[in-house]
Amino acid sequence: MDHAAEANRTDLMTITRFVLNEQSKYPESRGDFTILLSNIVLGCKFVCTAVNKAGLAKLIGLAGETNVQGEEQKKLDVLSNDVFVKALISSGRTCILVSEEDEQATFVEPSKRGRYAVVFDPLDGSSNIDCGVSIGTIFGIYMVKDSIEPTLDEVLQPGKNMLAAGYCMYGSSCTFVLSTGAGVNGFTLDPSLGEFILTHPDIKIPKKGKIYSVNEGNAKNWDGPTAKYVERCKFPKDGSSPKSLRYIGSMVADVHRTLLYGGIFLYPADKKSPNGKLRVLYEVFPMSFLMEQAGGQAFTGKQRALDLVPNDIHERSPIFLGSYEDVEEVKALYAAEDKK
C-alpha cells in the first residue's frame, strides 16, 4: 500500500472547506451564503443518487403532466424540483425561487425568509435520461434588496448582478462547477466520501477552440450571420483546419466540454424560435456568468448576454458562448449584418 499517496488523500480541498475559505476573506460575512450553497450541494448529491438509480427505480417513465414549457415531465424532473425547492426553503436563506418546472415564482413564507433569490433548472436535458447521456442542474443566485416584502423584480435583473452561478453535471462522474465572481472552480464527487473534491481549480477557457457545438438540424431556419459562421467553421477561408462538430443536446454537457476544451456553443434564434430556445434566467445567465469568469464571452446576437434585462421569469434568448476569439468572430458577423 502506498502510504504517501494515502496521506495525500487526507488533505483534500472539499467544497465545504473551499467555500469556508472564501467566506473567511470577508470578515463581515455571517455565513448565510455558505449555508445556502451547502444546501444546493446537498440537493445535487440527492439528485445524483436518484439519476444513478433511475433505471432501477422505474423513475424514468413520464409523470404524466406537462410543465410550463410544454415539455412532458419525467418523474425525475418532478423529484429533482421537489428536492431543490425543499432544500432551498429549509436553508432559511432564500426568499424567492424560480424553477424551470414551476409556472410561478415561489415566495418563501416570512418565517423562513433570507436575503437570496435562487433561479434554477433542476434537471436540464432530462429527455436524455433514457439513453444515459449526461444531464445536470443549473443555478444562479441573486441578493435581494428587500427580503421583508420581496417582489418579482428582485429576480428580473440582468445576469451581471448575479452573486454566484454554477451547475452540477450527472455523467460518468458527478461534477459541480461554481463561480462566486472570482474565477471558476470544478469539484468532483468522491462517492466513497460523499464529498465534492476540488479537481479543476481556477478553470480558464482557451482563447480559441477547435470545436463548435450547435443543432445543425435547424440550419434551414438560421439567420445570415449564424449560417455564415457555421460555414466558416466547416470551410475556413484562411487555410486553417475546419472545426470539429460536437453536439450532445444537453446544455450542461455541451457547455462543460466547451469550458474545458474551448470552442463555441450556440443556440441561435431561427424562424421557428425567433427568441431562441434557452431560458434567460436559469440557463443563459448562469452559463454566461461562468464563461465570462473563465475568460470567455457570451453574446445574444444583439448584446452581451449578462446585460440583458428579462421581463418574464421564463423568457427565452438566443445565445453564443465560449472562447473569447470565437465569440468575437460571431459578434463581427452580426455587426457587419447590422451595417447593411
**Residue 57 has what pLDDT?**
66
CA atoms of 211 and 89, how far apart (whole Å): 40
Average pLDDT over residues 130-150: 90
DSSP 183: -
**Residue 9 has what pLDDT?**
62
pLDDT in tens, 3-21: 455 555 667 999 999 999 9
H or E element in which residue 76 lies:
helix 75-90
pLDDT in tens, 186-218: 999 999 999 999 999 999 999 999 999 999 999
Average pLDDT over residues 222-232: 96
Per-residue pLDDT at 121 exceeds 60: yes
| CA atoms within 13 A of residue 118's CA, in its CB half-sphere | 30
Q: Pick the more confident residue, 84 or 77.
A: 84
Cell reading at 184: 471558476
C-alpha 306, offset from chain centre: 13
Pairing of strands 297-299, 195-200: unpaired
pLDDT in tens, 85-96: 999 999 999 999
How many of the other CB atoms lie within 10 Å of CB of 302? 13
Of the pLDDT bands very low, low, confident and very high (cuts 50, 70, 90), residue 127 is confident
Cβ pair 163, 143 in contact under 8 A: yes
Per-residue pLDDT at 60 exceeds 70: no
Instruction: Find the angle CA(334)-CA(260)-CA(323) to the nearest 5 degrees.
Output: 20
pLDDT in tens, 318-333: 999 999 999 999 999 9
How many of the other CB atoms lie within 10 Å of CB of 196? 25
How many of the other CB atoms lie within 10 Å of CB of 169? 26
Average pLDDT over residues 273-297: 97
How many of the other CB atoms lie within 10 Å of CB of 135? 28
**Residue 1 has what pLDDT?**
46
CA atoms of 260 and 293, how far apart (whole Å): 13
